[in-house]
Amino acid sequence: MDKLRILIPREQIAAKVAEIGARITADFLGESVVLIGVLKGATIFLADLARQIQLDATFDFIAVSSYGNSQQQSGEVKLVKDVDSSMEGRNVVLVEDILDTGVTLAYIRNLLQARQPRSMKIAALLDKVSRRTQPIQADYVGFQIPDEFVVGYGLDFAERYRNLPDICVLESYSDGA
Ligand code: IMP
Ligand code: MG
């Protein structure tokens, strides 16, 4: 059995998501935004955040894969699924579960920036500041966390645990299924 410890309980997540939603609402008052979720980890954050944003909003999704295993970022990113809509002239809010080395978001930001959006902001629920190798930071950050592997609220370990309502540290895991 894997061992999990709650790091951020659901009530704290909900309060923070509401706060970020209010900030985005205030920052884009009278304008439209397109929320771009990075699959699959950001889906739960996006679903909750979107309902805290009182603006004309649309959703889009992008998927990338990184070479290397789930706990290690190799530095190479591959586009798996592009966004469906045009970014030109739009207010883009990139929604991501966690900013770790920054390789993933730096790649996506550069890809979308080239399509001339009107503005681009990054909302990251979690930020592992000490792990950063790329010069990138989020405009909206939920929680800065230490360098521990976390799961839940969209975040996975080998595709599992995304459905946990709290964000938990995976303290140890067993190899057997
Ligand atoms: P980065 O490119 O190193 O910033 O990595 C970002 C991606 O790595 C995230 O979108 C997550 O999918 C994954 N990741 C980084 N840290 C964790 C973690 O603690 N738990 C689960 N996934 C993580
Ligand atoms: Mg992810």
pLDDT greater than 90 at residue 1: no
pLDDT at 20: 98
pLDDT tens for each residue of 33-86: 999 999 999 999 999 999 999 999 999 999 999 876 555 666 789 999 999 999
pLDDT greater than 60 at residue 14: yes
**Is the Cβ atom of 42 under 6 angstroms away from ligand 1?**
no
Look-up of token digits 């798996």: 80
pLDDT at 75: 72
Quote the CA–CA distance of 121 and 115 in Å, as a whole number.
Answer: 14
**Is the Cβ atom of 37 under 6 angstroms away from ligand 1?**
no
Query: How far, in Å, is the centroid of ligand 1 from the Cα of 89?
Result: 29
Ligand nearest to the CA of 170: 1
pLDDT at 66: 81
pLDDT greater than 90 at residue 176: no
**Is the Cβ atom of 127 under 6 angstroms away from ligand 1?**
no
Closest CA to 148 of 135, 129, 161, 162: 129
Neighbours of 159 (CB within 10 A): 8
pLDDT tens for each residue of 103-154: 999 999 999 999 999 999 999 999 999 999 999 999 999 999 999 999 999 9
* Residue tagged active-site, from 48, 97, 100, 127: 100
100 is catalytic: yes
Mean pLDDT over 161-169 rounds to 98
Residues near ion ligand 2 (CB < 5 Å) are 41
Mean pLDDT over 19-29 rounds to 98
**Is the Cβ atom of 154 under 6 angstroms away from ligand 1?**
no
pLDDT greater than 70 at residue 163: yes
Ligand 1 pocket mutation pick from 100, 110, 130, 148 by most atoms within 8 angstroms of CB = 100
DSSP state of 114: T
The verdict on whether omega for the bond into residue 128 sits within 30 degrees of 0, i.e. cis, is no
- For residue 50, what are the CA distances in angstroms to 25, 56, 123, 137, 167? 10, 10, 12, 21, 19
